[in-house]
Structure 1
């Protein structure tokens, strides 16, 4: 087991990818009007990448034009003071290929927000890091 300088356990990439499968909601960090923006989103994983479905007119869809973003998922037990966090950094892009869109439509990815969600954003998982506090799951 490895620990960072703060005493948090470092989670390896394989376990980070397993933890991603447990989460339903994540947070995407992107730039909007030259400022950082954070938005909660539901997501799916496809070929190791994060996939988000949104409106083509959303701030996220506008910002995800081959730009670097961060994506974070976590789970915490406040009573036991345990938890974990996984962060992915990579390029986000709008999916435009009709065959890829057809494949992504088959994912169990249904937006919680009202209205049409006709745009898929794919975040490439270039950098995957994770930390855990407290007992391992």
Structure 2
């Protein structure tokens, strides 16, 4: 999916968000988690919230409205300079959906594969483990921001 000129975006709040965030931070980063129904899916959904609370130019984005039929504030994702995707499991559904939409992903994780977590049914997960993994991802994000 190609991004349109900012002034061509119909939703005023999306236009304002893009301009304001780039004026303030220069470069922005979209951080997305899958929020699947398993333990690792739920964990991956909460991790971006922890990241954006710590890294000033990182923002949670909604990737669902990237498709042309839906114009919404999530089109802001197309204007981020970096993309981080945290999937819960090896299926990597979120990363695949963003790639299919033509979004370049800079950092991509699957919690079961990359951090050796066992995927189990249900929403419960170890919050201490989530915080530990989130710190590792934030270290990678800081390297990415410096290196590019």
Normalised to the residue count of structure 1, the TM-score between the two structures is 0.28
Answer 1 or 2: which has greater strand percent. Answer: 1
Answer 1 or 2: which has greater helix percent. Answer: 2
